[in-house]
Amino acid sequence: MPYEFDAYVTAALFSKSGQGIFALGDGTVRFDTGEVVEAHDGAILCACLHPSGEGVITGGDDGRLVWSQTSGPQEIAEIKGRWIDAVAASPDSGLIAFAAGKDVHVRDVADPDFARTFAHESSALGLAFDPKGRRLAVAAYGGARLWFARIAEQKPMVLAWAGSHIALAWSPDGKFLMSSMQENQLHGWRVADEKNMRMGGYPAKVKSLVFMSKGQFLATSGAQGVVIWPFGGSAGPMGKEAAEVGYDASTLVAQVAGTPTGRRVAAGLEDGRVWVCDLEGQKIEMLKAEKGAAITALAISADGKRVAWGDEDGAAGVAEAP
């Protein structure tokens, strides 16, 4: 089903129950069942699912963190005068983390009085909880910082690598932490021994990365096809070559989404098209064949049967994946 929202699509998500959700640059959250929630006075800058799996948590340039459900919005926190431009949540621990400038704040959905703040020397640009939701990784200049999310006074573990890191993904077993950078490269660490993994060769910035198939593969954007890194074994991708699926010399992959336990991967392209593919047969199924504005948001349902997308001009859609 196509939509025309007339606002930049910041995020597309599927709830635990399979409902399609869109977070927009006009401050609204739209549900594929028709509900519209006025969540922010200004643009939504980031979004993730609530730890319950129902509804969406959004951060805005109004300094507010909001949980939106079809019944309406609920403010979780406000940092006056700051933009909230990164957010993460853990269904296992019930924790929510959000970044405002150099500070990262943590809240607990089960305890309204719980609050932690972790300060950094540079802006916090990306957040990711480990699989158990106990450790929080923060992407910033010079690498990633790892914090125990519930402990107030501590020094972070620093996974160092020169340059600006902007987005993070933990492997499902918690052994690897992967980072996309301002440069056209991917970087990673084996957390136990801080072993560096430099994964270059990308023609563009890696805007999107996701683990899939129970952590066997990491899919990324940033090339003419979806780049698939193998992660089987204790060494992960070290010493192995990446594969590229859906290569098209005329455009670049802007966004990727993958099923957490299966092998279905979806791609949103810079030229506005969207496709889905099963890595077993590598047959590309085009879900949106018409070209348009660059895809800025993409999601695939956990069962791989539905894909949602949105672009920078406000066009969006939800389609059944064949």
- The per-residue pLDDT for range 15-52, each reduced to its tens digit, is 999 999 999 999 999 999 999 999 999 999 999 999 99
Residue 139 confidence (pLDDT) above 90? yes
Identify the pLDDT of residue 140: 95
- Which domains, ranges and CATH numbers included, belong to the chain? 206-317 (2.130.10.10)
**For residues 293-310, average pLDDT:** 97
Q: What is the pLDDT of residues 171-196, one digit of tens each?
A: 999 999 999 999 999 999 999 999 99
Give the mean pLDDT of 4-14. Answer: 97
Query: 53-62 pLDDT, tens per residue?
Result: 999 999 999 9
Which stretches within the chain are classed as H helix? none
Instruction: Return the pLDDT at 234.
Output: 79
The confidence score (pLDDT) of residue 235 equals: 82
pLDDT at position 236:
85
Q: What does the pLDDT read at residue 4?
A: 96
CA–CA dist 21, 34 (Å, integer): 10
CA pair distance 16, 6, nearest whole angstrom = 27
How is residue 276 written in tokens?
A: 């889905």
Determine the pLDDT at residue 308: 98
**Environment class of residue 292 by beta-carbon count within 10 Å: exposed (0-12), middle (13-18) or buried (19+)?**
middle
Mean pLDDT across the chain: 96
pLDDT(316) > 90? yes
Side-chain-side CA neighbours of residue 257 (13 Å): 27
Q: Which long-range contacts (CB under 8 A, 24 or more apart) does 156-163 make?
A: 156/118, 159/189, 159/191, 159/194, 161/187, 161/189, 161/196, 161/198, 163/187
Distances (CA, A) of 9 to 71, 75, 251: 21, 21, 20
Alpha-carbon span 110 to 191, nearest angstrom: 29
> pLDDT over 90 for what percent of the chain?
94
Tell me the three state secondary structure of residue 304.
coil
Q: How confident is the model at residue 65 (pLDDT cuts 50, 70, 90)?
A: very high
In the predicted model, what is the mean pLDDT of residues 103-130?
97
As a whole number, mean pLDDT of residues 257-277 equals 97
* Exposed/middle/buried for residue 141 (C-beta within 10 Å: 0-12, 13-18, 19+): middle
pLDDT of residue 121: 95
φ, ψ for residue 203, nearest 5 deg: -80, -15
d(CA 244, CA 265): 12
pLDDT band at residue 282 under the 50/70/90 scheme: confident
Can you give the pLDDT at residue 103?
98
Contacts of 279 (CB under 8 A, 6+ apart): 213, 217, 228, 245, 263, 264, 265
With a cut of 90, say whether residue 274 has pLDDT above it: yes
Alpha carbon 252 to its chain centroid, in Å, reads: 18
Q: What is the mean pLDDT of residues 292-297?
A: 98
pTM for this one?
0.96
Instruction: Check whether 281 has a pLDDT greater than 90.
Output: no
pLDDT at 113 over 90: yes
